[in-house]
Structures are given as C-alpha cells and as structure tokens.
C-alpha cells in the first residue's frame, strides 16, 4: 500500500487546518469498492466543510469533497467490477466518510451509480451534486403536475450551481424560466442558458406580504429564508416550489397563507440520502434532458490545489455555474 494526493482537514486548537498532503492508503475507511477518482466538483457544502463555517465535517482527519466520478480499481460488491465508471453523490462522503478530493476513495458499492452511457466523467462532474439536485427538483415539480402550460417557473440563486443547471434543464423542457440573481452582470449568461426573464434577487429578499401577486406556477429555490417565503407568496393557485438550498439562510419566515388559501405545495429536496432508484432516474434524465453545450458554458475547470481557493469563493457567491476539479 502506498500514498496518494488528497486534501486533508485536521482539527486544530482554533478551528481546523486544511492542506494538500500525501495520504496513506491504509488510512482509507471501510468500503467494498475502491475507486481511482478522476473528477470532482466544488459544491456549496464543500465550501462550508473546508472553511469550517458550518459543522459539515464530523470526523477528523477528513478528506472533503461530496461527489466524484472515477474508475473502479477493486471491488467485492456484486454490482461493480474493475474498470466500471461510477458516480458518487453524498451519502456522508466529505462529512462522516473520507471524500472526493483525493486520487483514491473507498466507499460502499450501494452508494454508486453508473456514469450514464455517452456521458464523460467531466460532464458528470460539471453536473455534480448541484446539477443532480436541480434534476431532483425538476422531477419533484413534474410529479406535482407542474408543466410548461401551467405558467413560468422561477429559479433563485440562478447564477450558482444548482440554479444554472435548473435554468438550463427547465428551458430545455419547454418552461418559461424566470431567473432571480444578485449578479445583473450575469444576465447574458443566464439568457444563454435559457432564462426568459431576469429579476433582481433584492426583489425577493425583503419581508413581503403573506400573499402577493401570482407570478409563477412553480419555483426551484436554492436560497431559503425570506427569498423562499416570497417565492411561496407569489406562486399561483395550485403551484409548487421545490426547496433545496440555504444560500441566503436556514430560516423560513413564511405564513400558512400560500398553503391554505392557494393550495401551494412546498416540496423538500434532499440529494444526500436520496434512494438509489430515484438517483438512477435523475442521472438518466440528466443524460437525456440537459444540453451538453450549455453544460460546457456553465462549467470551469481547476486542479486539486484550486479547491482551497474555490471553497471560500463559493460561500461568497462569487462562483458562476459549476467548478469541475480534475484529479491528477
């Protein structure tokens, strides 16, 4: 057994230390599949883990990184054999189980899904957990009967990772997309992804009335807090909002008015423990429903060391779209 390059978080007297180190293979945790990691990404949660701004990491030392694509090196799991190309999202990787920012990972075979045929590893991680969460949100709206003829759909945090993929997916599916962003300079980018209208996120950030003008049939919200409350208050009769994020805060200062007077539904989205059949369906849909050209537009590539710079940047809302991490 040897060593491999990895980002490691250690607990320190004041907070935590993060560094790119040589990690001993014998210190990998239990699992029935060992993967040579090829690509990862930087998600909002990775930013929280590396900065220590929220208690995401619950074991030290930790290799952060909540998602990867790689090639199976060895496996005792019946579903996987050496050479298989696999995707991992969540399941506590980068939180309680050693994660993705490393040349090697050992995980449970039950956590893995195959890279869809025709999709490259880079594309899969340009989508990453943020994009797969956007797909889960779209699927939740569809299950609720939200279709393009019901009216527009609003996406908050639109220039971020979840938001960018949600805009691209919804527009490809024929929805009229209203993109809410705090970055007016990204209007052309968002229109390029398929947004029909751009609104200033400040519009949704102030305390509003329990019920407002009915503006959209549905929403995908990555922001939470007052923004989600306003999105709910402005959702049309019988509409639905998929809540998946907390970039603006974890609270939800709403009233029951949208639910009991307009029959609006609030749909919760969790990607981490999402059951395998739903994951497989989401990745299948991402392979067929996401424009690959747009995926290229919304992603930038960095190396393993770049993760340390990208992590604080994503928390400051400075990252546009998705960051792909090429693992050497």
Q: Which residues bind ligand NDP (CB under 6 A)?
A: 43-45, 129-130, 133, 157-163, 181-183, 201, 222-223, 227, 244-248, 269-272, 314, 317, 319
Per-residue CA distances from 328 to 66, 70, 89, 223, 302 (Å): 18, 12, 20, 33, 11
Q: Is the Cβ of residue 75 or residue 160 nearer to ligand NDP in the bound state?
A: 160
Q: Is the Cβ of residue 113 or residue 222 nearer to ligand NDP in the bound state?
A: 222
DSSP secondary structure code for residue 185 in this structure: G
Q: Is the Cβ of residue 28 or residue 244 nearer to ligand NDP in the bound state?
A: 244
Provide the terminal-to-terminal Cα distance of the chain, rounded to the nearest Å: 19
Nearest Cα neighbor of 241 from 225, 226, 229, 255 is: 229
Rounded distance, CA 181 to CA 134, Å? 16
Q: Is the Cβ of residue 13 or residue 316 nearer to ligand NDP in the bound state?
A: 316
> Peptide bond preceding 107: is omega within 30 degrees of 0, i.e. cis?
no
If phi > 0 it is left, if psi is from -120 to 50 it is alpha, else beta; for residue 174 that is left
Q: Is the Cβ of residue 249 or residue 303 nearer to ligand NDP in the bound state?
A: 249
Three-state helix/strand/coil letters over 227-292: HHHHHHHCEEEEEEEEECCCCCCCCCCCCCHHHHHHCCEEEECCCCCCCHHHHHHHHHHHHHHCCH
Least separation in angstroms between residue 158's CB and ligand NDP is 5
Per-residue CA distances from 254 to 148, 257, 258 (Å): 26, 8, 9
| Phi, psi torsion values for 325, nearest 5 degrees | -110, 120
| Phi, psi torsion values for 143, nearest 5 degrees | -60, -30
Q: Going by C-beta distance under 8 Å and a sequence separation of 6 or more, which residues neighbour residue 32?
A: 75, 76, 77, 108, 109
Least separation in angstroms between residue 146's CB and ligand NDP is 18
Q: Is the Cβ of residue 43 or residue 234 nearer to ligand NDP in the bound state?
A: 43
Q: Is the Cβ of residue 4 or residue 175 nearer to ligand NDP in the bound state?
A: 175
Q: Is the Cβ of residue 94 or residue 161 nearer to ligand NDP in the bound state?
A: 161
Least separation in angstroms between residue 220's CB and ligand NDP is 10
Least separation in angstroms between residue 261's CB and ligand NDP is 26
Least separation in angstroms between residue 271's CB and ligand NDP is 3
Q: Say which residue the tokens 């075979």 belong to.
A: 109
Report the residue number whose CB is nearest to ligand NDP: 160
Rounded distance, CA 54 to CA 126, Å? 24
């Amino acid at each position: 057994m040897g060593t491999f390059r990895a980002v490691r978080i250690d607990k320190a007297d004041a907070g935590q230390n993060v560094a790119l180190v040589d990690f001993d293979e014998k210190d990998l945790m239990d699992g029935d599949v060992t993967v040579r990691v090829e690509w990862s990404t930087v998600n909002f949660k990775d930013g929280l883990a590396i900065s220590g701004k929220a208690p995401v990491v619950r074991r030290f030392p930790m290799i952060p990184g909540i998602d990867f694509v790689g090639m199976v090196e060895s496996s005792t799991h019946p579903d996987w054999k050496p050479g298989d190309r696999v995707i991992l999202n969540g399941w506590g990787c980068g939180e309680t189980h050693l994660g993705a920012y490393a040349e090697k990972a050992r995980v449970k075979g039950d956590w893995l899904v195959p890279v869809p045929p025709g999709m490259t590893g880079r594309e899969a991680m340009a989508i990453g957990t943020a994009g797969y969460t956007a797909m889960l949100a779209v699927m939740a709206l569809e299950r609720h009967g939200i279709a393009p003829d019901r009216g527009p759909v609003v996406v908050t945090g639109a220039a971020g990772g979840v938001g960018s993929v949600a805009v691209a997916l919804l527009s490809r599916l024929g929805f009229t997309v209203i993109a809410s962003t705090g970055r007016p300079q990204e209007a052309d980018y968002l229109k390029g992804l398929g947004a029909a209208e751009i609104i200033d996120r400040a519009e949704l950030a102030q305390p509003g009335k329990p019920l407002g003008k009915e503006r959209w049939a549905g929403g995908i919200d990555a922001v939470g807090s007052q923004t989600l409350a306003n999105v709910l208050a402005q959702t049309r009769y019988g509409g639905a909002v998929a809540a998946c994020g907390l970039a603006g805060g974890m609270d939800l200062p709403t009233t029951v008015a949208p639910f009991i007077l307009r029959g609006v539904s609030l749909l919760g989205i969790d990607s981490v423990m999402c059951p395998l059949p739903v994951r497989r369906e989401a990745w299948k849909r991402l392979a067929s429903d996401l424009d690959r050209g747009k995926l290229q537009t919304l992603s930038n590539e960095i190396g393993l060391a770049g993760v340390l710079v990208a992590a604080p940047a994503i928390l400051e809302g400075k990252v546009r779209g998705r960051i792909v991490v090429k693992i050497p």
